[in-house]
């Protein structure tokens, strides 16, 4: 029968005979008594077989059997035929170890419309477990000794996957496996700092985590406005001339949070800027796999592999818990990024990633995920059209969020505040502003990635009730 949490196996409990005086069996007896009294050997714990314990302590088997028999006679231990010798269930430690500090479970709203979270109920647990099991079974023993963090199989698998799915121009030598997108950004920012960069051109608004990571490495964010065609490249060029910044962080496939793609003309102009000023573009490819009305837009990196760093991860496609991402690096930046890097993901994680990609595990997961997200997005839009027809919804049919324009006179901050006691999670688009004091429309960023399908209508009804309640208070307060 398998051991349970209430009947643990305690074979590795340290018994230090040198701490006691007397014959060996006397010292062992006292060591076991103390281990039970202090709770290191808890009630029900299984002790090692007498032969095994004798070998580990360097004593005769008689010493162990004598101690076991004596303590069993006293009721401290109990022995049954065909079962391990255990600490008696009736024995309690005189000074039990202090309970660890309780860990508060993650608390998220019941109606969670926060962006950036994938469908955690459908995380690819079975597919990842299969990939890990198969990778372990098929990996040569010598490969398990790898200590340098470089697993060629993972880089080969990633280069093939990105070439076919994102049209990236990647080979194994250009790929670096990271702990995720933020880790990749940290490595690139650190490398750029060593190469003399001090500023980073960023979209305004944009995901704050990447900016924070760059700032921690010494790069000052320079905001560049975004419109319906993505980042304003003319404004970017002007900011580059004004500040000397030659590095830019962008989300061209699906701008976060506005949800627009970078137009083809601006893609070309952005690449031309990078080449003209000896600069670099960091492409945050955070959710490009999810496009519902057409094939995903190819990576910007394909236009200029010598000037664009492609950064991605499994955080949105699978789950952030895997902690795996990648960089595709231009040749001139590779040595600097690798030299500035932190510890790589474990060999086993990288082997599993390689298997996950080459076996088609990620492809199968993405097919199911696209179907779920498309259906959920359509349900969300339909519910918003029914209950908040006066509110415009924007953003292309892609990713895991939409943007909702609030009615005139309704402030997003008031709606977010009013939603909290109603267990509804909302996000004001101002949260992502680089220049918080700049004028901004009253808009909410509504995520639907992890919102359960049966809760969509109720979440939107609750949102509509809150919006109208805030609007009514605004009207009443203005009289």
Q: Are residues 136 and 269 in the same domain?
A: yes
Whether 2 is in a domain gets the answer no
CATH number, domain with residue 335: 3.40.640.10
> Nearest to residue 431, comparing CAs of 472, 401, 475?
401
Task: Grade residue 217 by pLDDT with cuts at 50, 70 and 90.
Answer: very high
Whether 10 is in a domain gets the answer no
Kindly report the CA angle at 242 between 236 and 248, in degrees rounded to 5?
A: 35
3-state secondary structure 50-85: HHHHHHHHCCCHHHHHHHHHHHHHCCCEECCCCCCC
Choosing from 363, 387, 415, the residue where a domain stops is: 363
Q: Indicate the burial class of 369 (C-beta count within 10 angstroms; 0-12, 13-18, 19 or more).
A: buried
Q: Are residues 81 and 131 in the same domain?
A: no
Q: Are residues 26 and 40 in the same domain?
A: yes
Helix (H) or strand (E) holding 212: helix 208-216
Choosing from 60, 87, 114, the residue where a domain stops is: 87
Q: Are residues 308 and 223 in the same domain?
A: yes
Whether 100 is in a domain gets the answer no
Report how far residue 49's alpha carbon sits from residue 244's, in angstroms, rounded to the nearest whole number. Answer: 72
List pLDDT tens digits, range 290-310.
Answer: 999 887 789 999 999 999 999
Concatenate the DSSP letters of all residues of 270-334 into one string.
HHHHHHHTT-EEEEE-SSTT-BSSSSPPPPGGGG-TTTEEEEEESTTTT-GGG--EEEE--HHHH
For the chain, what is the domain count? 3
Measured distance between the N- and C-terminal CA atoms of the chain, rounded to whole angstroms: 75
Q: Are residues 183 and 292 in the same domain?
A: yes
Q: Are residues 355 and 420 in the same domain?
A: no
* Average of per-residue pLDDT values in the chain: 92
List pLDDT tens digits, range 312-331.
Answer: 999 999 999 999 999 999 99
Q: Are residues 202 and 323 in the same domain?
A: yes
Q: Which range (184-193, 336-345, 360-369) has the least confidence?
A: 336-345
Residue at token pair 């595709």: 328
Q: Residues with Cβ < 8 Å from 423, sequence gap 6 or more? A: 109, 110, 111
Whether 235 is in a domain gets the answer yes
Residue at token pair 């490495």: 217
Whether 355 is in a domain gets the answer yes
- In DSSP terms, which residues pair with 247 in a beta bridge? 280
Find the length of the chain.
479
Choosing from 308, 333, 363, the residue where a domain stops is: 363
Residue at token pair 């001339």: 241
User: Mean of the pLDDT values across residues 60-76?
Assistant: 92
CATH number, domain with residue 65: 1.10.10.10
List pLDDT tens digits, range 410-424.
Answer: 999 999 999 999 999
- State yes or no: cis peptide before 383, omega within 30 of 0: no
Look at residue 207 and tell me whether its pLDDT is greater than 80. Answer: yes
Task: Grade residue 22 by pLDDT with cuts at 50, 70 and 90.
Answer: confident
Kindly list the distances between the CA atom of residue 302 and the CA atoms of 29, 43, 50, 161, 362, in Å, as whole numbers in the listed order.
Answer: 71, 63, 66, 14, 22
Task: Grade residue 4 by pLDDT with cuts at 50, 70 and 90.
Answer: very low
Task: Grade residue 474 by pLDDT with cuts at 50, 70 and 90.
Answer: confident
**CA-derived radius of gyration, the chain:** 29
Give the pair of three-digit tokens for residue 346. 């474990």
CATH number, domain with residue 394: 3.90.1150.10
Q: Are residues 390 and 248 in the same domain?
A: no
Whether 4 is in a domain gets the answer no
Whether 12 is in a domain gets the answer no
Q: Indicate the burial class of 436 (C-beta count within 10 angstroms; 0-12, 13-18, 19 or more).
A: exposed
Report how far residue 248's alpha carbon sits from residue 228's, in angstroms, rounded to the nearest whole number. Answer: 19
Report how far residue 344's alpha carbon sits from residue 177's, in angstroms, rounded to the nearest whole number. Answer: 7
User: Mean of the pLDDT values across residues 252-265?
Assistant: 96
User: Mean of the pLDDT values across residues 146-165?
Assistant: 91
Kindly report the CA angle at 47 between 43 and 48, in degrees rounded to 5?
A: 165
Contact call for residues 281 and 250 (beta carbons, < 8 A): yes
Q: Are residues 178 and 255 in the same domain?
A: yes
Higher pLDDT, 278 or 6: 278
Kindly list the distances between the CA atom of residue 108 and the CA atoms of 111, 113, 424, in Å, as whole numbers in the listed order.
Answer: 8, 10, 9
Whether 1 is in a domain gets the answer no
User: Mean of the pLDDT values across residues 94-113?
Assistant: 67
Please give the pLDDT value at position 2. 42
Pairing of strands 325-328, 220-227: unpaired
Q: Are residues 129 and 254 in the same domain?
A: yes
List pLDDT tens digits, range 69-85.
Answer: 999 988 899 988 778 89
Q: Are residues 211 and 354 in the same domain?
A: yes
Task: Grade residue 141 by pLDDT with cuts at 50, 70 and 90.
Answer: confident
Q: Are residues 224 and 325 in the same domain?
A: yes
- What is the domain extent for residue 135? 123-363
User: Mean of the pLDDT values across residues 350-363?
Assistant: 96
Kindly list the distances between the CA atom of residue 189 and the CA atoms of 198, 213, 239, 271, in Å, as whole numbers in the listed order.
Answer: 9, 8, 19, 19
> Nearest to residue 234, comparing CAs of 204, 202, 273, 261?
273
């Amino acid at each position: 029968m398998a051991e349970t949490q209430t009947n643990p196996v305690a074979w590795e409990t340290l018994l230090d005979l040198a701490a006691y005086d007397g014959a060996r069996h006397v010292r062992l007896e006292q060591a076991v008594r103390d281990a039970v009294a202090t709770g290191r050997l808890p009630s029900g714990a299984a002790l090692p077989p007498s032969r095994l314990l004798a070998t580990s302590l360097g004593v005769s088997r008689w010493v162990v059997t004598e101690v076991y028999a004596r303590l069993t006679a006293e009721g401290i231990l109990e022995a049954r035929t065909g079962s391990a010798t255990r600490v008696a269930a009736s024995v309690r430690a005189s000074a039990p170890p202090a309970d660890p500090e309780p860990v508060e479970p993650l608390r998220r709203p019941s109606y969670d419309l926060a962006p950036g979270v994938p469908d955690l109920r459908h995380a690819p647990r079975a597919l990842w477990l299969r990939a890990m099991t198969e990778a372990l079974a098929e990996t040569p023993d010598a490969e398990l000794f790898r200590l340098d963090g470089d697993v060629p199989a993972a880089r080969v698998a990633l280069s093939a996957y990105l070439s076919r799915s994102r049209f990236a121009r990647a080979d194994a030598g250009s790929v670096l496996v990271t702990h995720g997108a933020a880790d990749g950004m940290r490595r690139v920012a650190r490398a750029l700092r060593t190469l003399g960069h001090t500023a980073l051109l960023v979209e305004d608004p944009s995901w704050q985590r990447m900016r924070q990571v760059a700032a921690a490495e010494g790069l000052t964010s320079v905001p560049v406005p975004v419109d319906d065609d993505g980042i304003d490249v003319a404004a970017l060029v002007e900011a580059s001339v004004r500040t000397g910044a030659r590095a830019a962080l962008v989300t061209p496939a699906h701008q976060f949070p506005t949800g627009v793609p970078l137009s083809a003309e601006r893609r070309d102009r952005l690449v031309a800027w990078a080449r003209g000023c000896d600069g670099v573009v960091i492409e945050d490819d955070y959710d490009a796999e999810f496009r519902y009305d057409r094939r995903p837009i190819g990576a910007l990196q394909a236009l200029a592999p010598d000037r664009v760093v492609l950064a991605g991860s499994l955080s949105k496609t699978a789950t952030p818990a895997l902690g795996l991402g990648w960089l595709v690096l231009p040749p001139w930046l590779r040595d600097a990024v690798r030299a500035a890097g932190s510890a790589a993901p474990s060999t086993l994680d990288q082997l599993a990633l390689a298997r996950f990609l080459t076996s088609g595990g990620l492809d199968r997961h993405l097919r199911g995920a696209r179907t779920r997200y498309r259906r959920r997005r359509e349900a969300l839009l339909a519910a918003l059209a029914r209950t908040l027809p006066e509110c415009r919804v924007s953003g292309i049919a892609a990713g895991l969020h939409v943007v909702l324009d609030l009615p005139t006179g309704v402030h997003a901050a008031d709606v977010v505040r009013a939603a909290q006691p109603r267990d509804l999670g909302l996000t004001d688009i101002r949260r992502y502003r680089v220049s918080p004091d700049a004028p901004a429309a009253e808009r909410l960023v509504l995520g639907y990635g992890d919102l359960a399908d049966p809760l969509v209508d109720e979440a939107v009804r609750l949102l509509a009730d809150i919006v109208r309640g805030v609007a009514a208070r605004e009207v009443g307060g203005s009289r």
